[in-house]
Amino acid sequence: MMRLLIEGENGFEADVELADTFLKRFLGLMLRKGLPSGNALLLVPCSSIHTWFMGFPIDVVYLDRDNTVLKKETVHPWRIGSFVKGAGRILELNEGGAKRIQVGKQLFISFVEERRSQYEL
């Protein structure tokens, strides 16, 4: 199993689920009750979002292809996020989760491999 870790300045860190297929991006966080604290969803490629069929507000971070933060905003249920020129990826977090992320700064994304033995209990 593979997971992503995103890190930034000011101690920002999140375990990230990657939505890199049409279906995963389309479903996004729809119909979920929320995100566990410290978790996020990264939509790649993606330049805009909506919060239809969602029951909770989210912080949306618009990134360019180099993972530089172009804009961040809170989007409430049943709304459409901003169109941000140059955005190629979007990071979705719980409301308030992006407070330590700064516009103009770069986020660092790394793959973390989790290996589990078939014999572990």
Reading the chain (121 residues) residue by residue, the pLDDT tens digits are 346 888 888 888 999 999 999 999 999 999 899 999 899 999 999 999 999 999 999 999 999 999 999 999 999 999 999 999 999 999 999 999 999 999 999 999 887 655 444 444 4
Supply the DSSP string of 7-42, one letter for each residue.
Answer: E-GGG-EEEEEEE-SHHHHHHTTTT-----TTEEEE
Backbone φ and ψ for 11, nearest 5 degrees, come out as 80, 10
Instruction: Please list the alpha-helical segments (H only) found in the chain.
Output: 22-27
**Does residue 96 contact residue 63 with C-beta atoms inside 8 Å?**
no
**pTM score over 0.95:** no
Which residues are CB-neighbours of 97 under 8 A, at least 6 positions away?
Answer: 14, 35, 40, 59
What structural domains and CATH numbers belong to the chain?
A: 13-99 (2.60.120.1140)
With the CA atoms of 59, 65, 71 and 74 taken in that order, what torsion angle do they form, in degrees rounded to the nearest 10?
-10
Residue type for 73, please? E
